[in-house]
Amino acid sequence: MNAMLETPELPAVFDGVKLAAVAAVLYVIVRCLNLKSPTAPPDLYFQDSGLSRFLLKSCPLLTKEYIPPLIWGKSGHIQTALYGKMGRVRSPHPYGHRKFITMSDGATSTFDLFEPLAEHCVGDDITMVICPGIANHSEKQYIRTFVDYAQKNGYRCAVLNHLGALPNIELTSPRMFTYGCTWEFGAMVNYIKKTYPLTQLVVVGFSLGGNIVCKYLGETQANQEKVLCCVSMCQGYSALRAQETFMQWDQCRRFYNFLMADNMKKIILSHRQALFGDHVKKPRSLEDTDLSRLYTATSLMQIDDNVMRKFHGYNSLKEYYEEESCMRYLHRIYVPLMLVNAADDPLVHESLLTIPKSLSEKRENVMFVLPLHGGHLGFFEGSVLFPEPLTWMDKLVVEYANAICQWERNKLQCSDTEQVEADLE
């Protein structure tokens, strides 16, 4: 009798366990996908000036909500993973010409040149000089998508291929790209200036490329000649500060560090003969034991300390990071500069964002743009599940460049009018 009375309660217990399990799974999904996070316009940091007011009027993306795909777009990890694995969806294949430049140390630098597919909105000859992210090149999908969009908006595009990044281009000297070496980027810019003497430049850098282009512009005032503006996307500003955060498991940065280190090892080892061969005249500080340490490296810092810094003769990792970071050069940039980071970028710790915030509070030419979502070079847009081919990032860079071109055109017209009025007087 008692057993008969107790049996109806058993399914209820099981249903409760199932319900609790489902609730737990849904809670984890909501937390991981960050579904409760709101959408909002990006936070903007800038000095009130004629330029900033013009940009706010001319760049709607700066004041509109960035709305990522509903299901997964608010997760910085998924945005970053999709960029890293997939790049972009339905990526176009722009047609360009590969150029080769022999550097003074015997290295062969390459970049790809893409001509504009339409007239520019101000009718001028404008070239975007583009520096991709770490170990990236012009054949990466996110670069192809951006180049195609820029071409259709009237821009010529020159895209640097990082030294050693292209699998079908052999190294011709015992050196490959490093965190802040500007030699190859500078050679590309000089080629463009010489080949197209009437062109004006828009400088664009993605991630590590953002560090390189900002460092290049700040190295000497001459590097800013003919430059209309600069855009840096998702860089970390200071490798010295970033190295500690990259060893932390917070936001899985240590895991990302391992993955990037593994990719760097594969690239370095693919050029083993050019870098470590017996016939190679290696840097004095680069020894055979460094190759064995490379095999066991599990972080970018270990690779930088054992191999990368020695390409340029730095005595320590600290010296390498201090000299190669753009942070000490940012205040020397006088052209309009837009720095963009996502608040949920798992690679760039929030403490690093004090650098662009502080700079934008002191310099009228600097605007810091901080959207809530986007991850690292993700910034996908879309309604529910499937992203659009073009990202918010692609549109923002071109929109900002268009606005700066119009700003410069207006300044020129105003100065011409003032000159005519002065002559009449």
Distance CA 322, CA 328 (A): 8
Helix/strand/coil for 230:
strand
Q: Quick check: is 376 catalytic?
A: yes
* 325 backbone dihedrals φ, ψ, rounded to 5°: -85, 150
**Who's near 322: CB < 8 A, 6+ residues apart?**
240, 328
What radius of gyration do the chain's Cα atoms show? Answer: 25
Helix/strand/coil for 136:
coil
| Count of Cβ atoms closer than 10 Å to residue 165 Cβ | 21
Annotated active-site residue in 112, 290, 305, 345: 345
- What is the side-by-side strand order in the sheet with 108-114? 43-46, 366-370, 337-340, 227-233, 200-206, 126-131, 156-161, 108-114, 97-102
Annotated active-site residue in 109, 325, 376, 394: 376
- Which residues does residue 367 pair with via DSSP β-bridges, in sequence order? 46, 338
Give the CA-trace dihedral at 221, 224, 230, 233, to 10 degrees. -60
Angle, vertex CA 333, rays to CA 327 and CA 339, nearest 5: 65
Annotated active-site residue in 207, 232, 238, 360: 207
* 384 backbone dihedrals φ, ψ, rounded to 5°: -125, -65
* 315 backbone dihedrals φ, ψ, rounded to 5°: -80, -20
Give the CA-trace dihedral at 316, 317, 319, 324, to 10 degrees. 140
- Asked if 177 and 160 count as a contact pair (C-beta separation under 8 A), the reply is no
Distance CA 390, CA 41 (A): 18
**Who's near 15: CB < 8 A, 6+ residues apart?**
none
Q: Quick check: is 162 catalytic?
A: no
Q: Quick check: is 304 catalytic?
A: no
Distance CA 24, CA 41 (A): 32
Scanning 220-316, the segments in alpha helix (DSSP H) are: 239-246, 253-270, 272-276, 288-296, 300-306
Closest CA to 203 of 128, 277, 116: 128
Report the catalytic residues: 207, 345, 376
